[in-house]
Structure 1
């Protein structure tokens, strides 16, 4: 997946207590990815829009704390970074709530199943189960992809209030991840409205070749979409029509159970619902 040289960051209103140095450090941790596993100081600085001096101070701090390593003037993440994500994963009870449901779907239909939430223009995968082995875009826990290119993301976008969806359409710049990727914002808007009307989304080869997926919303007790659940298979072996005919009722039933489970866990309700 192509990424711009600098990580785009939405600028929320910052309170007076906002710690700029901490924000810079977190931005540096987030700028490492599959396409940039190792970077020089200047590359890191460019990716997070910092001066080399500011980036160097943050990198030295992160290196001292054990989150970043260095080899031949190139920086890389160290395993300690995983403690940040695992703390959220276990504290929020994600494994306890999500995995039994995803395993049931995979045992019944094969292929793969995921749960995701919306973060800005992206969808973040918070749970995943699969029997698939073919090399393609990985839907592992913590993976982050453009919402417009995934069935999960389109369901989540469809669940936004009109004003938030309009803001998204006005600012999104969809990338052509495959030759089938939907890149026209107006066409994307129409697709999301159709998803809202249907109550589900299907995609074929939008994020990567070989992925055909069906997703439905996971709703809270107030009816608001708080997450999305999908099932996916290999393009050519499944079609959107076959997924809808064979899996949609079960997918909706499991999504309803996940929504009910979220309500029973206050921490999970808070982290997913906000």
Structure 2
């Protein structure tokens, strides 16, 4: 965990370390030893041990032998946001409508650093591939949602993103060249939508449009995805772009009437 010299003097380092420990668990690392956790988070073994003892006492982490794992209580940390922002009431109906009309899957995500975080998802798909469950995070450069969100950043923030990011290939088709990626993001900004084919995982073709706040700033994005080979990006644009833009407009209007959702989408 890298320390930021710009942090407030009131920043609670111990709390940040505990959260980092929770966040280091994922599908590829469902259970780990103390030393593995310390390496992933960038902490000393002693600091990682203190965080694990605290999280275990609070019921968020369990252990078997020398291996630690997350417990179901961790899910309560995200449920507060989910219900306060009224995801079930406002966002999911829009996604269900998209899926009922076009099939496949639909998601809403927000930008968090170099990644997107999925805050709502509905799907009829059951394939074994990258899964857009609520709370999942993926590199922004490899998703239609991420490219739309990056296109909506102020110029200085986009420059900062490119100065710091090192795009990684997730498939043989993932665009990792920064110049090529910048061109695609600029194109998404000009067109008002982004398409991707086999960028995040093989078999995923997706189309995304921005969701804007009352001031016109891009705060989130909504997409529709299908199986590569069964649907082309051109077909998606023809068949789904209009419905996605209508859904994005309704979500923007609903957020303006719902303080908790508006605050959540505005970060």
TM-score (norm: length of structure 1): 0.96
1:52-201 → structure 2 map (5 Å cutoff): 52-201=45-194
What value does the CA root-mean-square deviation take over the aligned residues?
Answer: 1.1
Kindly state the Cα deviation for residue 11 of structure 1 after the two structures are TM-superposed.
3.6
Structure 2 portions without partners, runs of 5+:
none
Aligned partner of 2:30 in structure 1 is 37
Task: Describe the superposition over 1:108-131 as per-residue Cα deviations: whole angstroms up to 9, x where unpaired.
Answer: 100000000000000000000000
Runs (4+) off by over 6 Å:
none
Please say if 1:248 is aligned against 2:241.
Answer: yes
- Report the 3-state secondary structure (helix = DSSP H, G, I; strand = E; otherwise coil) of the residue aligned with 1:39: strand
Task: Describe the superposition over 1:40-61 as per-residue Cα deviations: whole angstroms up to 9, x where unpaired.
Answer: 0000000011000010011000
Partners of 2:2 and 2:42 within 8 A in 1: no
Question: Which residue, out of 206, 214, 237, partners 1:213?
Answer: 206
Structure 1 portions without partners, runs of 5+:
1-7
Aligned partner of 1:16 in structure 2 is 9
Kindly state the Cα deviation for residue 246 of structure 1 after the two structures are TM-superposed.
0.5
TM-score (norm: length of structure 2): 0.98
Kindly state the Cα deviation for residue 195 of structure 1 after the two structures are TM-superposed.
0.6
Kindly state the Cα deviation for residue 9 of structure 1 after the two structures are TM-superposed.
6.0
